[in-house]
Amino acid sequence: VAWTDAERNAITSVFAKLNPDVVGPNALARCLIVYPWTQRYFSKFGNLYSAETILGNPMVAAHGKVVFGGLEMAVKNLDDIKKTFAPLSELHSEKLHVDPDNFRLLADCLTLVIAGQMGAAFTPEVQAAWQKFLAVVVSALCRQYY
């Protein structure tokens, strides 16, 4: 993937503004609430019975931060996201058996939460760069599926 300087700047500056303790947990919780079938992969997280319990579940919050850490790896390796994510892709495919359609759903939840946090600073240009970044992340996560 080729990035323009403007895209690189947009992606890294969006990322620098985000609070990992809020964005990761809120995006994962939103995904579990809006797309309830994604809950099946997280049975060991305990109580996911309602939006309230999902939002208050410490294991969801903790895992949201782990996902955010994954995004950080991608931001730091913009020129080789595919290789950076090869082990994660293999894990989600071979061990976790996560249906890869779900990656895009979580990516969309991330965008919504980030847009909500950034407000007017999330301009169309910034959004375009950010969506491109997430599309590359999703594609990299899908690489080891066959």
Q: Which residues bind ligand HEM (CB under 6 A)?
A: 38, 41-42, 63, 66-67, 69-71, 88, 91-92, 96, 98, 102-103, 106-107, 137, 141
Nearest residue (CB) to ligand HEM, 10 versus 109: 109
The C-alpha atoms of residue 136 and residue 118 are separated, in whole angstroms, by 22
Burial (0-12, 13-18, 19+ Cβ within 10 Å), 19: exposed
CB within 8 A of 26, min separation 6: which ones? 64, 113
Nearest residue (CB) to ligand HEM, 3 versus 41: 41
Nearest residue (CB) to ligand HEM, 28 versus 126: 28
The residue number with the shortest CB distance to ligand HEM is 70
Cβ 92 to ligand HEM shortest distance, Å: 6
